[in-house]
Amino acid sequence: MNNKVKNTALVILGLLVLNSVNQFFYKRFDLTQDQRYTLSKTTKNILNKVEKPLYITVYLEGDFPAEFKRLQLETKQYLEELSAENKNVIIHFENPDNEREALIKKGMMPSQLTVEEDGKLSEAIIFPWAEINYESKTQLVSLLPDGIVASQEEQLQKAVENLEYSFSNGIHLITQQQKKSVAVLYGNGELADIYQYSYLSEIAKKYNLAKFTLDSVASNPQQTLKDVLNLDLAIITKPTEKFTEAEKFTLDQFITNGGKTLWLLDNVQADQDSLLATGKMLAYPRDLNLTDLLFSYGVRINTSLVKDLYAAKIALATGRVGNQTQFQNLDWYYHPLVGGNPNHPITKNTAPIRFQFANQIDTLKNSIVKTPLLVSSPLTQKVGTPTFIELQSIAEEPTEDQYKAGNQLLAVLLEGNFKSAYKNRIKPFETSLFKADATQNKMIVIADGDVGKNQLLKGKPFDLNRDKWTNQTFGNKDFLINAVDYLLDDSGLIQLRNKTLTINLLDKQKAYKQRNFWQFINVVLPLVLLFAFGLLYTFFRKRKYQKATP
């Protein structure tokens, strides 16, 4: 009796000790092959800054397709990891059906999906959004990628891969204390604000955005240089007038002093609007006086135009029916449609980017690391300038023999230690801020000034990711936003976009064909086995008692 009491007491004591240890030591184990629930160091650093309750409301609750039940489950499991890392993260899943109008007013646009069940297609509407609230601030998080995908399975794959970046980026934006400064440079005939509104309005949500003109270089170059060094990033979009040596020197010193740059340059004068108006135009080289500056950094933008058989369409009038003009969408080979580098976070999972009268980039050997971001298809033709371009050429049937110039580099990322283009040259003006070399700087050069140009609809900016005439969708806005994020990212946050996971999905067609077999296995067979077990149990029990009876 004493041994039983003693053993019982030891068991109770052991349970109490284990419970106490459990209160102080807590560890979650990620046993998935691709470690999808293991938080990166970047995410943990961002979560460490959350010192007050942060509420995440996810609108993935209710009746929606099976694939997106998987997205709901993956989202819930990932957010549980965030909450386990920082108890200030509070999660809530909500059904959006009763507040659809309110969500749309907030900017959460629904997604219409094609659902295949039992071999039949139907439509479903979901709100793949999450809302983060911290103190008095709100940040929206899209749970579905915008890129063009071949199937809903691929869309789900990309959505799950993007979960960590989407939420980490949202939490970072809502908790950051100080924003970096981005300037759009003017003074050399750059693209007007209204034509850059679509992507710049998104950048303004993340960074302090302002104009900066180089006009003051002529009158007070030292002060202008001092002012520009307060910026973190400069965007130069489609300049049309020559840069003076003093302006180039100002930009050069901005770069060697650590400033990031995003160049969107046209080295050929060719404008789509004038072509549509007259049906014919002269395309000719444009001298921006930037060749030597870019050459010193390791790139050269040529003055040839790139035609590509993989191209965007333009809408052209092809006739009239009654009083109405009939339009047709035709491939326009001067507008290459370019896929991004799938192995780089700037361009991974983005839709193809539309170029308009793009030039080709050559890279030169130096210590700068050059990463191709956007490269044309191999079916290209280089057109020398000056040359006349006529709309009627759109009717000509192309042949592959004409388009065999190979892949053409259209956008490149430069990273490394930049040397000043004025290191061993006479300087346009003297300054005590002169630096001959920059340590670990970054810039992106795009050989088309219209990559960031949005259309206007009734005088208002139209979405850069869409064409108002053909209704085609592109990835231009996402590409430029990712480019800015990458250039300004010091924490490694943008690298989370490179996360790759393997999602095992159900083969719907195979499941539909074999549904009767699996219904039998899952429903009928267990009942048959249970019935057989009952018969055998009754038989052997009866037999046992018959033997036991004298």
**In CATH, what number is assigned to the domain containing residue 41?**
3.40.30
Same domain, yes or no: 435 and 299: yes
- Describe the crossing of helices 221-228 and 245-256 by its angle, rounded to 10 degrees: 30
**pTM of the complete model:** 0.83
| C-alpha separations of 428 from 61, 129, 137, 203, 213 in Å | 63, 53, 47, 33, 18
Same domain, yes or no: 111 and 131: yes
Q: Is the peptide bond before 285 cis (omega within 30 degrees of 0)?
A: no
In a domain, 485, yes or no: no
In a domain, 68, yes or no: yes
Same domain, yes or no: 210 and 247: yes
10 Å CB burial of residue 140 (0-12, 13-18, 19+) is middle
Same domain, yes or no: 468 and 385: yes
Same domain, yes or no: 47 and 135: yes
Total domains in the fold of the chain: 3
What pairing do the DSSP bridges indicate for beta strands 233-237 and 181-186?
Answer: parallel
Buried b (16+ CB within 10 A) or exposed e, 65-87: bebbebbbebbeebbebbeebbe
Same domain, yes or no: 236 and 255: yes
In a domain, 541, yes or no: yes
In a domain, 136, yes or no: yes
In a domain, 521, yes or no: yes
Same domain, yes or no: 317 and 454: yes
Cα 78 to Cα 348: distance, rounded to the nearest angstrom: 21
- The phi and psi torsions of 406 (rounded to 5 degrees) equal 85, -175
Q: Which domain holds residue 532?
A: 517-548
What pairing do the DSSP bridges indicate for beta strands 441-446 and 181-186?
Answer: unpaired
Identify the bridge partners of residue 93 per DSSP, sorted by sequence position.
Answer: 58
Cα 353 to Cα 318: distance, rounded to the nearest angstrom: 27
In a domain, 385, yes or no: yes
In a domain, 413, yes or no: yes
Same domain, yes or no: 387 and 466: yes
Contact 417, 438 (CB under 8 A): yes
Same domain, yes or no: 232 and 165: no
DSSP-based three-state secondary structure for 30: coil
Same domain, yes or no: 153 and 43: yes
Cα 143 to Cα 514: distance, rounded to the nearest angstrom: 32
Same domain, yes or no: 306 and 410: yes
In a domain, 458, yes or no: yes
Return the DSSP state at 452.
Answer: T
| C-alpha separations of 137 from 69, 161, 386, 413 in Å | 29, 26, 53, 34
Per-residue pLDDT of the chain (550 residues; tens, 9 = 90+): 566 667 777 777 777 776 766 555 555 566 566 566 688 899 999 999 999 999 999 998 877 766 678 888 889 999 999 999 999 999 999 988 888 888 888 888 888 776 666 556 667 778 889 999 999 899 999 988 765 555 667 777 888 888 999 999 999 999 988 899 999 999 999 999 999 999 999 999 999 999 999 999 999 999 999 999 999 999 999 999 999 999 999 999 999 999 999 999 999 999 888 888 888 999 999 999 999 999 999 999 999 999 999 999 999 887 776 677 788 899 999 999 999 999 999 999 899 999 999 999 999 999 999 999 999 999 999 999 999 999 988 988 898 889 999 999 999 999 999 999 999 899 999 999 999 998 899 999 999 999 999 999 999 999 999 999 999 999 999 999 999 999 999 888 988 888 776 665 555 566 556 667 777 778 788 888 888 888 887 877 777 776 666 5
Cα 371 to Cα 363: distance, rounded to the nearest angstrom: 10
List the one residue out of 455, 458, 422, 457 whose CA is nearest residue 438: 422
